[in-house]
């Protein structure tokens, strides 16, 4: 234990037992004062199969690193660390069954479970209401639970290197989220609700299966970095998609709206009035048409800073409509559409 003591003497409030090949942690020779004063404890790069119960003797602990061990579960004793703010447990053997039931009652602000065996985000993690940073990269996650919206203090969410196929709209309910990392997954689309993330500065989506982005992405006014390399939208031109012909109801509704025919609840049943009020205007500046349920989905390539072309989804009223998604970058419709995007907004977005 003498060498352990020497390794641990790294400063006031800090004990470092990393890289000592420990199977357990003996603290018999550590004074009560030292236990009381310790706020940071490093146990990374050892051979611990579970969290040693002796860790709880450091009852003022605020930071604990137990990365790169063989941990397969975290015992309930961790609940006694009521002042713990940061838990780093990267590169272990933890999964969704490894955490104590009451884990969500800890006052954690930073939690890093990257490089483990999680197939689901444990619901206990979604109860950590003070959490500001959550990292679960390099696991086996297939989805993001809707309960993620409970983490209203979250500023950084790192879920890169998993098997995630969709982004739930509930992610948009995180008001302070600044960094969202979802690279190296299987994501095929981005929900337009993400535009409610007004604090978002960095969005990493590289190496996914994206073929387009919602045009609402341009309303992320604080976005400084958008990483999209390794997606089909960057390496493949996607122009036209399927179109379902409009119903007779929609054709009639289009006629009423496009010709500005007057109507009121005294003229039509209430359900038809509500239907007419749902009309969407065709985004083509040269078209005065509208649509309801039937529309043509096309990709509009917006020029960013003269260097990158970002594919955004547009909805047109019909295949015959002159499309602002023309592949000709000099087309009048496209130029007019691109000029409507403020230059300073475009400079905030980077690809790659």
The answer to whether residues 53 and 187 belong to one domain is: yes
In this prediction, residue 223 carries a pLDDT of: 86
Mean pLDDT of the chain: 82
Per-residue pLDDT tens for 82-119? 999 999 999 999 999 999 999 999 999 999 999 999 99
The answer to whether residues 202 and 228 belong to one domain is: yes
Q: Is the pLDDT of residue 6 over 70?
A: no
Nearest to 347 by CA among 308, 313, 314: 308
In this prediction, residue 274 carries a pLDDT of: 87
Average pLDDT over residues 199-226: 88
Per DSSP, which regions of 99-141 are E strands?
110-112, 133-135
Q: What's the start-to-end Cα distance of the chain, in Å?
A: 50
Per-residue pLDDT band at 128 (split at 50, 70, 90)? very high
Per-residue pLDDT tens for 162-196? 999 999 999 999 999 999 999 999 999 999 999 99
Q: Report the phi/psi class of residue 80: left, alpha or beta, with left for phi > 0 and alpha for psi in -120 to 50.
A: alpha
The answer to whether residues 199 and 222 belong to one domain is: yes
Per-residue pLDDT band at 18 (split at 50, 70, 90)? very high
Whether residue 159 lies inside any domain: the answer is yes
The answer to whether residues 256 and 216 belong to one domain is: no
Per-residue pLDDT band at 211 (split at 50, 70, 90)? confident
Q: How far apart are CA 33 and CA 216, in angstroms?
A: 57
Q: Is the pTM of this model over 0.85?
A: no
Q: How far apart are CA 240 and CA 298, in angstroms?
A: 5
Whether residue 265 lies inside any domain: the answer is yes
180 membership: H or E segment, kind and range: strand 179-181
Q: How many domains does the chain have?
A: 2
Picking from 236, 269, 285, the residue at the C-terminal end of a domain is 236
Average pLDDT over residues 315-324: 61
Higher pLDDT, 321 or 274: 274
**In sequence order, what are the residues at sequence separation of 6 or more whose Cβ sits closer than 8 angstroms to the Cβ of residue 88?**
44, 63, 64, 65, 66, 67, 110, 112
The answer to whether residues 109 and 41 belong to one domain is: yes
* CATH code assigned at 62: 3.80.10.10
Q: How far apart are CA 83 and CA 63, in angstroms?
A: 9
The answer to whether residues 265 and 228 belong to one domain is: no
> What secondary structure does DSSP assign to 282-296, as a single string?
-S-TT---EESS--E
Picking from 236, 253, 274, the residue at the C-terminal end of a domain is 236
Whether residue 317 lies inside any domain: the answer is no
Higher pLDDT, 239 or 148: 148
The answer to whether residues 98 and 155 belong to one domain is: yes
Strand partners, 181: 158, 204
Higher pLDDT, 287 or 140: 140
The answer to whether residues 42 and 125 belong to one domain is: yes
- For tokens 């004793």, the residue is 77
Average pLDDT over residues 42-64: 95
In this prediction, residue 100 carries a pLDDT of: 96
| Tally of CA atoms within 13 A in the half-sphere of 275 that contains its CB | 14
The answer to whether residues 124 and 254 belong to one domain is: no
The answer to whether residues 188 and 258 belong to one domain is: no
Q: Is the pLDDT of residue 208 over 80?
A: yes
Whether residue 89 lies inside any domain: the answer is yes
Q: Is the pLDDT of residue 68 over 90?
A: yes
Picking from 192, 207, 236, the residue at the C-terminal end of a domain is 236
In this prediction, residue 197 carries a pLDDT of: 95
Whether residue 349 lies inside any domain: the answer is no
* Containing structural domain, residue 254: 245-293
Nearest to 299 by CA among 195, 214, 208: 214
Residue 67 corresponds to which tokens in the numbers above?
Answer: 């990365």
Whether residue 343 lies inside any domain: the answer is no
By percentage, how much of the chain surpasses pLDDT 70? Answer: 78
The answer to whether residues 281 and 175 belong to one domain is: no
Whether residue 347 lies inside any domain: the answer is no
In this prediction, residue 146 carries a pLDDT of: 97
Q: Tell me phi and psi for residue 305, to 5 degrees.
A: 60, 20
Whether residue 323 lies inside any domain: the answer is no
Per-residue pLDDT band at 151 (split at 50, 70, 90)? very high
Q: Tell me phi and psi for residue 223, to 5 degrees.
A: -65, 125
Would you mind telling me the total number of residues written for the chain in this entry?
A: 352
In this prediction, residue 58 carries a pLDDT of: 96
Sheet with strand 213-214: strands edge to edge: 213-214, 308-316, 296-304
The answer to whether 304 and 277 have CB atoms below 8 angstroms apart is no
The answer to whether residues 137 and 184 belong to one domain is: yes
């Amino acid at each position: 234990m003498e060498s352990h003591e020497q390794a641990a003497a790294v400063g006031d409030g800090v004990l470092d037992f990393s890289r000592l090949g420990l199977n357990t942690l003996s603290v018999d020779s550590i004074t009560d004062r030292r236990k009381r004063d310790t706020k940071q404890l490093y146990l990374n790069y050892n051979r611990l199969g579970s969290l040693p119960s002796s860790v709880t003797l450091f009852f003022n602990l605020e930071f604990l690193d137990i990365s790169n061990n063989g941990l397969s579960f975290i015992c309930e004793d961790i609940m006694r660390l009521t002042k713990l703010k940061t838990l780093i447990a990267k590169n272990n053997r933890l999964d969704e069954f490894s955490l104590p039931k009451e884990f969500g009652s800890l006052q954690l602000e930073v939690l890093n479970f990257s490089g483990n065996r999680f197939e689901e985000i444990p619901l206990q993690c979604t109860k950590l209401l003070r959490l500001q940073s959550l990292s679960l990269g390099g696991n086996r996650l297939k989805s993001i639970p809707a309960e993620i919206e409970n983490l209203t203090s979250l500023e950084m969410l790192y879920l890169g290197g998993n098997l995630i196929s969709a982004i739930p709209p509930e992610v948009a309910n995180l008001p302070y989220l600044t960094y969202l990392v979802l690279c190296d997954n299987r994501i095929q689309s981005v929900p337009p609700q993400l535009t409610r993330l007004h604090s978002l500065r960095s969005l990493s989506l590289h190496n996914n299966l994206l073929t387009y982005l919602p045009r609402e992405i341009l309303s992320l006014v604080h976005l400084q970095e958008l990483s999209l390399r390794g997606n089909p939208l960057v390496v493949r031109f996607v122009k036209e998609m399927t179109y379902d012909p409009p119903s007779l109801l929609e054709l009639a509704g289009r006629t009423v709206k496009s010709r500005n025919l007057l109507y009121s609840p005294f003229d039509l049943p209430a359900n038809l009035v509500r239907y007419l009020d749902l009309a969407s205007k065709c985004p083509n500046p040269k078209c005065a048409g509208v649509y309801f349920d039937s529309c043509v989905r096309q990709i509009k390539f917006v020029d960013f800073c003269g260097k990158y072309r970002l594919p955004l989804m547009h909805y047109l009223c019909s295949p015959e409509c002159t499309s602002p998604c023309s592949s000709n970058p000099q087309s009048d419709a496209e130029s007019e559409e691109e000029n409507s995007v403020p230059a300073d907004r475009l400079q905030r977005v980077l690809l790659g």
